[in-house]
Amino acid sequence: MIDDFYIEGTRKTPEIDFSYKSGILSISGISVPEDTLGFYDKITVWIADYIKEPKKNTKLIFRLEYYNTSSSLIFLNIFNMFSDVDSIIEIDWYYEEDDTDMLEVGEDLSKIVKHKFNLFPVESF
């Protein structure tokens, strides 16, 4: 069995809370790391291990206040990693209700990923 994976969030990096047992993988906060590839490397390695033996139901939760372009490329990579997984994948995209940019990004992503994609407005993070 894969161990759970957790990284505490900072002013520049998101909180990563991946639970193998529950199949809930959450990324929340701000994602503007100095070295985006370096920061997300361990995360994508964990996901690569997870998708070898995924839970029957997996939920990806994104609760991001802000992220940079290089982080968005990593998120697309993460979505693509799950594209051939033979289980139920659901993505929850949370955005501040007055943040039309994050809403539009969520809407665009919902059109390009093959999994169920839910958009959830929140008052604030």
Give the global pTM.
0.94
User: Could you tell me what percent of the chain has a pLDDT over 90?
Assistant: 88
What is the residue-averaged pLDDT of the chain? 94
pLDDT tens figures, 36-52: 999 999 999 999 999 99
Domain that holds residue 60: 5-122
CATH number, domain containing residue 29 = 3.30.750.24
Cα distances (angstroms) measured from residue 89 to each of 30, 58, 68, 76: 24, 5, 25, 15
Q: What is the number of structural domains in the chain?
A: 1
CA 22 – CA 106 distance, rounded (Å):
24
* CA gap 1, 12 in Å, rounded: 31
Give the tens place of pLDDT for each residue, 60-114: 999 999 999 999 999 999 999 998 888 899 999 999 999 999 999 999 999 988 8
